[in-house]
Structure 1
Amino acid sequence: MIKDAGWILLLAPLIFFISVSMFVYTRQELIVLNNALHFVGGFKRYFISWDDITKVDMDRLGKYKTPAVTIYYSGGRLKLNKSFYPGPQFKRILSILETKIDPKLYTERYFEIRNQTGW
């Protein structure tokens, strides 16, 4: 018999939340198609047509100034963070996005940060 099992009842929801979050995080997937951009596997799914995109911006986040690209579209925004994608994969994603999205939609800050990081 377990004495003072109250701490187990407090820890169980926390452990469950962490395990579900880890499972969802590993299932995320970015799919670039000829007519749209799909981001699936998380809590929210994104289906963005290339025509719906209104602006593309880049920020540097956190202590290590990690680049993060924000894609604004008619229904909201999608943030792609370099910490989620390995370096060469993130560069490839950016190059594909630059070929698919109209260059007028990129902000000046996007190109400044892109040039600072050496891409």
Structure 2
Amino acid sequence: MLGWRGESPAAWLLSIARNVLIDHFRRRRAELPLPNPEELGAPEWATDAIAVRDVLDRLPEQARRLLVLVYFEGFSLAEVAAMTGRSTSSVKTALWRARAAFAEMYGAVR
């Protein structure tokens, strides 16, 4: 923390007062709620994308990563198997389970 360095004490005190005032107004800043996407006229796909991201965030890390690798990043099952050190059949089974978990959660959101 910097302190007074022997220069103008009035300037030093004014800068402290300015910083206190800025901090005060930053703390009091009201946060407004986000409007509903339908109110903004957002397209249907935008609300679907939000729901998909929400469901992905709630999945276990392993299932989420597997779905992202295959469906968002475009890796094949063989490539994912090589990356994870698992067999292709175990990746296929894990992907099936991850899709089922996603579908169940997505159905509850929609």
Whose Rg is larger? 2
Higher strand share: 1
Normalised-by-shorter TM-score class: 0.3 to 0.5
Q: Normalising by the residue count of structure 1, what TM-score does the alignment of the two structures yield?
A: 0.31
Please state which structure has a larger fraction of its residues in helix.
2
Name which structure has the greater RCO, CA cutoff 8 Å, separation 6+: 2
